[in-house]
Amino acid sequence: MTSSVLDLAPVVPVVVLENAADAVPLARALVAGGLPAIEVTLRTAAALDAIKAIAAEVPDAVVGAGTVISVRNVSDTVAAGARFLVSPGWTDTLLDAMKASGVPFLPGVSTTSEVVALLERGVTEMKFFPAEAAGGTAYLKALSAPLPQARFCPTGGISLASAPSYLALPNVGCVGGSWMVPGDAVAAGDWARVERLAAEAAALRD
């Protein structure tokens, strides 16, 4: 894969799975819709099994782990097959572990000081979270002039309607969102609907 998570697709689906059995059909639907990078969040007990299943059975997917907040999360998810890591925030300890993991990672930031601290550590790609609550497109636009070397994946409160305004910014590589994996569709196994929503999202940069 490309060395940058930000360049895989315009949108990275942020997936919360209660049932690991849904992981493979969901991932196949997202890939078929044009969204190969899939962030499975560590918010449920099924997350590690879901990552393992996608990594083993959906070769065209680039499965990653989200809500990575500890050194143990890093080691467990990489062992499960995660090909990128995403955190809502970062500490020096967590950053060191992600750097040592051997896979691309996006540490989370929401302030200018956090961005500068990451740049000081040689990290130029990051997650901007929670995007809407932390200032949205206006905040990211303001960062682009003094800190042009920083690139972001904004996540948190972004929708199909608001995603294009983020993607138009020069310092945004992709956005994260969950609108293409609605809970009712996943619960019903409506993978055709997920694929349609993924295709809409994938077309945002066409």
For residue 13, is the peptide bond before it cis, meaning its omega torsion is within 30 degrees of 0? no
The rounded distance, in Å, linking the Cα atoms of 194 and 185 is 7
Contacts of 65 (CB under 8 A, 6+ apart): 39, 40, 41, 42, 47, 51, 73, 77, 80, 82, 84, 85, 86
Reduced to 3 states, what is the DSSP secondary structure of residue 3? coil
82 close to 62: Cβ distance less than 8 angstroms: no
Catalytic residue positions, numbered: 39, 127
